[in-house]
Amino acid sequence: MTKKKQSQPSAAAKSSDRPIAENRKARHKYDVLDSLECGVVLVGSEVKSLRAGRVSLDEAFGRIKNNEVWLMGCDISEYHHASTMNHVGKRPRKLLMHRREVLKFAQKATERGLTLVPLKLYFKNSRAKVLLGLCKGRKLYDKRDVMKKADAKRMIERAVRRRG
């Protein structure tokens, strides 16, 4: 009997999982209570700019209008090779979610005064996806407390590595 070789994932498959853009400040400014993966409606020149990594999620947020979720403030730079068919950099972009997910997120966001924040933008199966988080803003003392706990954890890990 011959054994069948296990196929290794190709380099293209591995690179598609890496994030295009991450909103690292969001984890510092907010407590992420829940997250959901959504698709994004884009035009061709926006996809080219995303593949070049020319996007910023720093000031982006989610907004619910007419039972649809929109990504506002996400800056996708213009693609310099698409002269006449270029896109507007900070236009609102529709997020693709199931109706029940929209209603669940909308209900939570309006009831408790929570914010929809994009945490990560990436390609999955050649489609642009956004990881949208349902977040609660942190107070200054909460931020300090989290930083203090992370620093203590780091110090403990260093001490354990030195001893072992």
Helix, strand and coil percent figures for the chain, each rounded to 5:
35, 35, 30
Residue that is written with structure tokens 């035009």 in the block: 43
Q: pLDDT class for 154, splitting at 50, 70, 90?
A: very high
pLDDT tens column, 44-99: 778 888 888 888 888 888 888 888 889 998 888 777 776 666 666 678 889 998 99
Mean per-residue pLDDT of the chain: 81
E strands, the chain, are 19-22, 30-40, 55-56, 61-65, 68-72, 75-76, 93-96, 115-124, 127-137
What does the pLDDT average to over 109-137? 86
pLDDT, tens digit (0-9, with 9 covering 90-100), for 20-41: 888 888 888 888 888 889 999 8
Alpha carbon 125 to its chain centroid, in Å, reads: 16
Q: Could you tell me the two tokens for 21?
A: 């853009």
| DSSP H or E stretch at residue 113 | none
Nearest residue to 61 via CA among 106, 38, 92: 92
| Cβ atoms of 72 and 60 closer than 8 Å | yes
CATH class of domain segment(s) 18-138: mainly beta
Q: Provide the whole-model pTM.
A: 0.71
Q: Which residue has the higher pLDDT, 101 or 82?
A: 101
What residue segments make up the domains of the chain, in order of their start?
18-138
